[in-house]
Structure 1
Amino acid sequence: MQIMLLQNKKTAIAGAGPVGLTMARLLQQNGINVTVYERDKDPKSRIWGGTLDLHKGSGQDAMQKAGLLDGYYEKAIPMGRIMTDHLGNVLFSKETSEEEQYNNPEINRNDLRTLLISSLEKDTVVWDRKLIKIEKQKDQWILHFENGTVETADFIIGANGGMTAIRKYLTDTEVEFTGTYMIQGEVSEPELKCPDFYKLCDDKILMTSYNGNSLVANPKNSKVLSYNVIFKMPETLELDFQNPERIIQYILERFNDWSVVYQQLFNSTSFFTGLPTKKISVEKPWKNNRPIPITLIGDAAHLMPPFAGQGANIGLLDALILSENLLNTDFETIQEAVYNYELQMQVYAAKAQEETRINEIEMLKKDFTFLKFVD
C-alpha cells in the first residue's frame, strides 16, 4: 500500500486569500498537516475590493471538491448585467434567469473568506505573519516573517500574491505592467448618497465605456456599492489616496463629459484605492532543480488583470489540480506531483491571460462597448 506524499510532512501555505484557504481545505480534509500564514492582523481584517464570481469548470469545481459549493451559493448573489452610455441612457439590460442563477453568482470577498476559514480546523491560519524571506536548511524550508518569527516546513505553497518573495526559487519572470490604471471606489449607503446612480444600476452589474474611460459598478457588494474606473495609464500619474477629495477631483476631470448621474457617484465616494494593472507571464518554463518541494498558485503564479474575471477562478483551479496530484499515490514524489500541476497550469493560465489581454485592449478603445462581454 502506497503512502500519501504529504503524510508526516509539514505543509506551509503563504497567504490566506481564497486560493490559499481553499488549498488548505482541500488538503486538510484528507488528513494533511497544513498551516496557512497570513500577513493580515486577524480574521476580522477587512478585505477591500469588488465581488468575485466563481465559474463552473474552475472556481465552482474547487468549491465543490472542498464541500463548500452550497455555502458559496447561500452567500453569493446572482446578478444581471446592465450597460449604459456616458449620458446615463440604458443600452442593454439582462436579468439572471432561474436557470442561470448558479452560473456565476457574485460573492463578497469577506464572506468568502469567512466561509473558507470556518471550514478549517482551529488555528490552521496563523495571522500577522508577513513572509519576507525563505531559505533552505538541510531538507527543510525556513520561513522568516516580518515580525521576527521563524517557522519550518517540508513543503511550501506560495499563494501570497504577485509580489511574493517565493517566486525567485521557481522562475526569473518579472512582474509586467500592462498599461492600464484602475481606481477602485466604495460608497456606503448608496441608496441615500447616490440615489440616482443606485437606481440606474437596477440591482445589476453596471458597465459603461466612453472615450477611453470605463466604469464597472456593483451596487450589492455586501453593504456598499463598489466600482472601478479604468483608463490607459498616463505617462505621469500622482494620486494621493489618503486624500479622497483630490481623487474625486481627478476622476471628475477625466469624466467631465459624462452625465451628472455618474458625477453623483464619484462625489459620494469616501474611500479609494488604485493600482496599475500587472501580469506575470507563465510562458517561460519554471526551474526544476528543487530538492525541497515548493510551488506557487493563484496570483503568485500567474497574476493577471481582472478584465476577464479569471484571476481567482484560475487560482482555485490551481488549488484543485495541485491537491488532487498531491493526494494521488500514482506520483512517486512530491516534486513529480508538483511539476505535473505546473505543466497543466502554464497551459490554462496562459489561455486565461490571453483572454484578459484581448479584453483589456478592447476596453481602452474609444468606440468600445461592453455588449460583446454580456452573455
Structure 2
Amino acid sequence: MTTPHIAIAGAGIGGLTCARVLQLHGFENVTVFERESSPDARQQGGTIDLHAGSGQEAVRAAGLHDEWRALARVEGQEQRRVDHATAELVEHEPAEGDFRPEIDRGQLRGLLLGSLRPGTVAWGLGVASAAPGEVTFLDGSKKEFDLVIGADGAWSRVRPAVSDAVPLYTGVMFVETRHDGAERLLDITGQGTMMAEHEGLMLCAQRNSADHIRAYACLRASEEWRPSTTDLLDLFADWHPDLTAFLLGEPTHRPLYSLPVPHTWEHTPGVTLLGDAAHLQPPLGVGANLAMQDAADLALAIVEHGVRDGVRAYESVMLPRAADLAARTNPALLEMVPERPVRV
C-alpha cells in the first residue's frame, strides 16, 4: 500500500519533528519545503528549554532523546534576578532537576535534520500559498498532496487555507544584542538566564553554548520604533554600567506579535497547521515546546488513524490546548513588561 504524500511547509523544529516521527513509522512520502537555500542560510536563534511534559516527550517520540540529552545543558536552568541600579543578585534559582534543560536552537535543529532520510528537505523551494491538498510554490509551480501541513511560523503562507486570522502587534518590543566571551557579562548572567527590571524597562540575558550570550532590552513601544544603541543607553541611563554593557553591539529589533485568542478553524480535509502558524504567542518559554508537541501529536495521530481522521483527532486536542496557553501568555507578557510613564 502506498503511503500518503505529505507536504510540510517550513524546516523549523516543528516541521522537522513532524517529518521525523512520520518517517519513523514508515511514512516515506514526506517532504519538507523550505525557502531558505541551505541549513546554514541564517542564524537559528538562541537557547530553548525543552519541558519534561511537552518538548522532551516530542524528542522521545522522534527517537532522539539520548542524542538530545548529550547536548542539553542542565545548568542552563539557573535563573538570576539582579538589581537594576547595583547589578547585585537579589533572587537566585539554582539549576535543579531535569525539568527544562537548555539547548541551542541550532543544535536541536541540526539533530533533527541529521535524523531525516536524505532528500527529505527541499531547500530553496518555498511555499507561496496552499489550498486543501495543493501547494503553490514561490516559483509558480503547483503540486498536489494528500495533506499539507503549515509549520511555517508567524507569517504562515498555509494559514489562509483554513483561517483569515493575522498576527497582531502586542505592544512589546524586544531589542536583541549578542556577546561572545565577555567575562563580566558571563558572571552576571550565570549559567542560564538573568533578568533585571525597573519602571517598565526589562533586561534579559541568556547564556548559550560556547560562552555566547543573547541579551534583550524589553519595553512597550510603537511597532515601527527602531532604536539605536545610543537610544537604548539613554533609556537605561540610570542602570548600572555592568548592565548597560549588555546593550552594546548591533541591535536586532523584534516587535512581538500574537494571533487572536482563541485562534480556531473549521476542520478542512487536506490541510492543517502546527506551532506558530497555528497559535503564535509571546516568547515566554512555551512556543518551541508547543510546536514540537503539536508535531509529534499530529504525526502519531496520522499513524494511528490515517490522514483524514488523524488530522481531525489532532486538531480536537491541539486547538483547545493552544487557546488555553495563549489566554495566559498574552496577559503574562503585558504584566512582565508594564507601561512606562513615557512610551516610545
- TM-score, normalised to structure 1, is 0.84
- Does structure 2 conserve the Cα–Cα contact (< 8 Å) formed by 1:49 and 1:226? no
Residue 152 of structure 2 aligns with which residue?
160
Give the aligned partner of residue 298 of structure 1.
275
State whether structure 2 residue 294 is matched by structure 1 residue 318: yes
CA distance in 2 between counterparts of 1:272 and 1:221 reads 21
Of the three residues 168, 173, 176, the one matched with 2:168 is 176
| Structure 1 residue 277 displacement after superposition | 1.1
For 2:80, the aligned partner's letter is I
Aligned mate of 1:65, from 61, 64, 75: 61
1: distance between equivalents of 2:233 and 2:332? 25
**Which position in structure 2 is the counterpart of 1:225?**
213
Instruction: Confirm whether residue 29 of structure 1 aligns to residue 5 of structure 2.
Output: no
Q: In the alignment, is the contact (CA less than 8 A) between 1:17 and 1:160 conserved in 2?
A: yes
Kindly provide the amino acid, as one letter, of the partner of residue 212 in structure 1: G
Task: Give the corresponding residue for 1:278.
Answer: 257
1:341-352 to structure 2, matched below 5 A, reads 341-352=314-325
Tell me if structure 2 keeps the 8 A contact 1:58–1:313: yes
Deviations 1:257-299 (A, max 9, x none): 11100222222x2x432222111135254123x35x1100000
Partner SS, residue 57 of structure 2: helix
Q: Choose which of 63, 71, 76 in structure 2 pairs with 1:75.
A: 71
Please list every run of 5 or more consecutive structure 2 residues that lacks an aligned counterpart in the other structure. Answer: none
Which deviations, in whole Å up to 9, do the C-alpha atoms of 1:129-183 show, x marking residues without a partner? 22112346xxx41x23324554432211010011112111111222222111111
TM-score (norm 2): 0.91
Change (3 A) 1:38 1:355: same
1:188-203 correspondence to structure 2 within 5 Å? 188-191=180-183, 196-203=184-191
Whole-Å separation in 2 of the counterparts to 1:285 and 1:350: 8
Deviates more, 1:196-205 or 1:104-113: 196-205
Contact map agreement 2:263 2:279 (CA 8 A) in 1: no
Q: 1:221/1:305 Cα in 2 relative to 1: closer, same or farther (>3 Å)?
A: farther
* Per-residue Cα deviation, 1:314-345 (whole angstroms, up to 9, x for no partner): 111111211121011xx4x6232212211211
Instruction: Compute the displacement of 1:366 (Å).
Output: 7.2
State the shift of 1:237 in Å.
4.0
Question: 2: CA distance between counterparts of 1:345 and 1:282?
Answer: 14
Asked whether the equivalents of residues 263 and 323 of structure 2 are also in contact (C-alpha less than 8 Å), the reply is no
- AA partner of residue 321 (structure 1): D
Structure 1 unmatched runs, 5+: 240-245, 368-375
* Residues 193 and 206 in structure 2, CA contact (< 8 A), matched pair in contact too: yes
What does residue range 12-23 of structure 1 map to in structure 2 within 5 Å?
A: 12-23=7-18
Q: Does 1:84 align with 2:82?
A: yes
Deviates more, 1:24-33 or 1:68-77: 68-77
Distance 1:254 1:335 in 2: 53
Change (3 A) 1:285 1:189: closer
For 2:246 and 2:263, the matched residues in 1 are separated by 43
Q: How many equivalent residue pairs?
A: 336
Return closer, same or farther for 1:216/1:284 CA change in 2, 3 Å cut-off. Answer: closer
Counterpart position of 1:251: 232
Give the Cα–Cα distance (whole angstroms) in 2 for the partners of residues 325 and 220 of structure 1: 34
